[in-house]
Amino acid sequence: MFDINSFLRDLSIAIVPFLLAVTVHEASHGYAAYFLGDDTAKRAGRLTLNPFVHIDIFGLLCLLITRLFGWAKPVPVNFNVVARKKYGVAIVAAAGPVANFLVAIFSAILYHIVSSIHTSNPLMIKILFPITMMLIFSVQINIALGVFNLIPIPPLDGGRILQSFLPVDKQVKFAQLERYGFIIILLLIITHVVDYVIFPIIHFFVRLLI
């Protein structure tokens, strides 16, 4: 039976780590591109940790429904510029997931510190409980976002990373898959491939951390 109170409670706790996760993810792409000579994200005002600059309404609605998956507006990157550097495209693409994994690890460390605090003070319990839950959600969301984006299908980060290591003639053909990327991802979800392949990986790393 659907418990609306439980849903709203979890959502109110999950919204902060979600906004942090997608903001760090997209900003990391922008900063990586900037360090490689592309100032597109900077000129677009996307080199910021202000979550309201990165929010995508549909990505936020997806979080409301799944309480796990969501996304932000992609940071604009001129891949013709970053591609001039060796593995530039791969570096920019990997920056987002790597940032999510680092946030997940940091959140897990804080979780273990906070959960080790034992108190019988009712006020402290009321304070520590939502913080603990928020840190758990942070680990789950960041791991999920990082792993999901590493699926080797363009335009996901994993697709761009794989494309960077392909021979030049095959890079062009592989890039053409991007127009079908959303359909492929949707098929993976509908056919439960994500459930059987991606979710176990996410759950493994979440259990490993917390």
Asked if 78 and 61 count as a contact pair (C-beta separation under 8 A), the reply is no
- Structure letter (DSSP) for residue 67: S
Which stretches does DSSP call E strand in 84-179? none
What does the pLDDT read at residue 178? 84
Average pLDDT, 10 consecutive residues per value, the chain (210 residues): 70 85 94 94 91 84 64 87 90 96 98 90 85 94 92 91 89 86 86 89 95
What does the pLDDT read at residue 161? 95
Is 61 strand, coil or helix? helix
What does the pLDDT read at residue 150? 94
* Amino acid in position 9: R
- Give this prediction's pTM: 0.89
Which residue range forms the structural domain that includes residue 152?
A: 4-209
Cα atoms in the Cβ-side hemisphere of radius 13 Å centred on 150: 20
What is the rounded distance in angstroms from the CA atom of residue 4 to the CA atom of residue 1?
Answer: 9
Active-site annotation, residues: 26
Asked if 25 and 33 count as a contact pair (C-beta separation under 8 A), the reply is no
What does the pLDDT read at residue 63? 65
Asked if 43 and 35 count as a contact pair (C-beta separation under 8 A), the reply is no
What does the pLDDT read at residue 105? 98
What does the pLDDT read at residue 1? 59
Number of domains in the chain: 1
What does the pLDDT read at residue 2? 59
